[in-house]
Structure 1
Amino acid sequence: MRDYYTITELTREFGISTRTIRFYEDEGLLAPIRRGRTRLFRHSDRQLLKNILRGKRLGFSIAEIREIMSMYKSPPGEAGQLKAIIGRVSDKRRELEQKRRDIEDLLRELDAAEEACLTRMAELGVGQSVRTG
């Protein structure tokens, strides 16, 4: 395991910009060591960055990620953090399932509207070359 990573190494590894890492630093989520103008990230910073990016992929806000991360450092500790993550994941799952139901409803409505248009076009004797589905 390496002692330190540069910002360039982390941007390459995670496929993100230096601006993204600086943003997380400005938000207090990362605290690299500074040697002059150079930022040096410890292995723990790299792991935090990995977790931040995972949280973002799961749809968590920066505030939610900060809250979960702060639990790890103080009571209720890791167990509390894990319970909080489970709760957040469950909430996010419900939200996404509702969005999926909404999208499925909208697709059915679009299908019905398209079918009504095609039926009316047939009644008018207009060609059906415009069908997209």
Structure 2
Amino acid sequence: MATYTITELAKEFDITPRAIRFYEDQGLISPSREGPSGRNRVYSARERTHLKLTLRGKRLGLSLSEIKHLVTMYDSPKDTEVQLKSFLEVLAKHRASLEQQREDIEVMLGEITAHEEESQRLLEIVNKAKN
């Protein structure tokens, strides 16, 4: 059975050991412990997969609770249909949130453009008055 150290996983996924320990604190991964006083973390292939799913969820912009739900589903009995439907629901909610953010950004950019144009117009008036 393949096992990994925290250093190996950090290098493989290009993250810090501290990030891995954070995900452990959040209950997303649970390595076994070895060595004196259980100081050394040992990650199984299952924990590596959990970390991979966690990082994928993070890249998608999912919250830690959403990621934890998805990682937990990965461990449940292999009812793929339920898992996929749940994943689709999470993605749909996240998509709606991102699309709302995009609309808000478009409105803000429009307001910025209007302020820039007005400021430019006023600056031209000030410059003409100086001449």
TM range (shorter): 0.7 to 0.9
Aligned to 2:6: 7
The alignment-based identity, stated in percent, is 44
Query: Is 1:50 matched with 2:48?
Result: no
Q: Please point out which of 60, 66, 69 is paired with 1:67.
A: 69
| Aligned equivalents of 2:84, 2:50: Cα separation in 1 | 15
TM superposition score normalised by structure 2: 0.84
Q: Please point out which of 99, 104, 128 is paired with 1:97.
A: 99
Query: Structure 1 4/21 Cα, relative in aligned 2: closer, same or farther at 3 Å?
Result: same
1:53-132 correspondence to structure 2 within 5 Å: 53-74=55-76, 77-125=79-127
| Aligned equivalents of 1:50, 1:87: Cα separation in 2 | 20
Q: Tell me, what secondary structure is at the counterpart of 1:125?
A: helix
RMSD: 2.1
- How far 1:111 moved relative to its partner? 1.0
Query: Structure 1 79/6 Cα, relative in aligned 2: closer, same or farther at 3 Å?
Result: same
Determine if contact 1:5/1:40 at 8 Å carries over to the other structure. yes
- How far 1:75 moved relative to its partner? 5.7
Query: Structure 1 74/50 Cα, relative in aligned 2: closer, same or farther at 3 Å?
Result: closer
TM superposition score normalised by structure 1: 0.83
In structure 2, runs of 5+ residues without a counterpart are none
- Between the two structures, name the one with larger relative contact order (CA 8 Å, sep ≥ 6): 2
| Aligned equivalents of 2:120, 2:30: Cα separation in 1 | 60
Q: Which has the higher helix share?
A: 2
Aligned length, in residue pairs: 126
Determine if contact 2:53/2:71 at 8 Å carries over to the other structure. no
In structure 1, runs of 5+ residues without a counterpart are 128-133
Query: Structure 1 112/95 Cα, relative in aligned 2: closer, same or farther at 3 Å?
Result: same
